[in-house]
Amino acid sequence: MPPSGEFIVIAQIVRPQGRRGEVLAEILTDFPEKFAERSQLWLGRENDAERREYTVVSHWFHKGKVVLKFDGVESISDAEVLKGFLIHVPREKRAELAGGAIYVGDLVGSLLLDVSGDPHEIGKIEDVRRGVGAAPLLVVHEHGQEYEIPFAEEYLVRFDAVRKILEMKLPAGLLEVNAPLKEEERRRK
């Protein structure tokens, strides 16, 4: 089994589904078709470093979710115990991306450089927020300041996954949008 931290989450168990130990899981991957290729999955709670390996007996899709049947999970009671567990796969077994594509999760922990004009460091990417706009937002922290920067293709220059450096050409004024309000501005609001 891979060391802790070398896993990615692909789904989360919502509840039991059926009478024979099946579970219904929310799909958290862009590659649900890969469930057909996976005979082993690892389950664990969100903050647990420990994961337990399960053998997949069968799977099928149901109303935008996936139903999984694991070996050894034979009843509704067995399945109920798994409610809330995250479903993981080893990082090296994730889906291959087309040339030039980036896993957004790989960006966390990377250094963001603005290479428009004179290259300079913006900060470390702490998180990626999805579902808040057309593009995911990179949450970058530097010296107590937080920036939310759209991870838009038109800004992207290069990502070095080995060195964990993301180079982007940010539009003028983008960082100022994130600047904290001055005392006078706060009073006016």
Tens digit of pLDDT for each residue in 22-67?
999 999 888 899 999 999 999 998 877 789 999 999 999 999 999 9
Residue-range domain boundaries for the chain: 7-93, 104-169
State the pLDDT confidence band at 182, using cuts at 50, 70 and 90: low
Q: Report residue 132 as tokens.
A: 């808040």
Any idea which architecture 7-93 has in CATH?
Beta Barrel (2.40)
Distance, CA of 186 to CA of 1 (rounded, Å): 53
Fold of 104-169: SH3 type barrels. (2.30.30)
Distance, CA of 150 to CA of 27 (rounded, Å): 24
State the pLDDT confidence band at 4, using cuts at 50, 70 and 90: very low
- 188 — phi, psi (to 5°)? -70, -30
Reported pTM = 0.65
Written as one string, the DSSP assignment of 66-118 is EEEEETT--SHHHHHHTTT-EEEEEGGGSPPPPTT---GGGGTTPEEEE-SSS
